[in-house]
Amino acid sequence: MTPSVFARLRTSALIACAIVVTGCGVQPSPAATGADAVTRANCGIDITVDAPPQRIYAAYQPSIEIAHALGVTDRLVGTAYLDSTVLPEYEAAQAKSAYVEKLPSRDELLAQNPDFVLSGFNGVFARSAQNSVGTRASLHDLGVRTWVVSPLCPSADGLADEAIDPSTVRFENVYADLRDLGALWAVSERADEVVAELSDRIAAVSATVANAPRPRVAVVTPKDDGSYTAAGGIDFITQIIEAAGGVNAFADLTERRNVQIGAEELIARDPDIILTSACCKATYTRADGQPQVDKIVGNPAFANLTAVRNGVVHPFLFADRAAGVRIAHATELVAELIHPDLFDR
Please indicate, yes or no, whether residues 189 and 329 belong to a single structural domain of this protein.
Answer: no
Type and span of the H or E element at 147 = strand 145-148
Does residue 191 sit in the same domain as residue 47? yes
- Asked if 227 and 317 sit in the same domain, the reply is yes
Instruction: Quote the pLDDT of residue 21.
Output: 30
Domain final position from 169, 197, 225:
197
Q: Would residue 189 count as lying in a domain?
A: yes
307, part of any domain: yes
Q: Final residue of a domain: which of 197, 232, 265?
A: 197
Residue 324 counted as domain residue: yes
Q: Does 55 share its domain with 175?
A: yes
Residue 303 lies in a domain: yes
Looking at the fold, whether 235 and 149 belong to one and the same domain comes out as: no
Q: Residue 26 falls within a domain, yes or no?
A: no
User: 216 and 185, same structural domain?
Assistant: no
| Spatial distance between the Cα atoms of 345 and 328, rounded to a whole number of angstroms | 16
For residue 24, being part of any structural domain is answered with no
pLDDT at 173: 96
Question: Is 173 in the same domain as 241?
Answer: no
Residues 151 and 246 reside in one and the same domain: no
What does the pLDDT profile of the chain (345 residues) look like in tens digits? 433 333 344 334 333 333 333 333 334 444 456 778 999 999 999 999 999 999 999 999 999 999 999 999 999 999 999 999 999 999 999 999 999 999 999 999 999 999 999 999 988 898 766 678 999 999 999 999 999 999 988 877 776 777 788 888 999 999 999 999 999 999 999 999 999 999 999 999 999 999 999 999 999 999 988 899 999 999 999 999 999 999 999 999 988 899 999 999 999 999 999 999 999 999 999 999 999 999 999 999 999 999 999 999 999 999 999 999 999 999 999 999 999 999 975
Domain boundary among 145, 167, 197: 197
| Number of independent structural domains in the chain | 2
**pLDDT value, residue 6:** 36
Do 286 and 334 belong together in one domain? yes
103 and 226 co-located in one domain: no
Query: Is there a single domain that holds both residue 193 and residue 217?
Result: no
**Host domain of residue 264:** 212-339
Return the CATH number at 311. 3.40.50.1980
Q: Which helix (H) or strand (E) holds 94?
A: helix 91-95
Q: 183 with 219, same domain?
A: no
**Looking only at Cα atoms, what is the longest distance across the chain?**
67
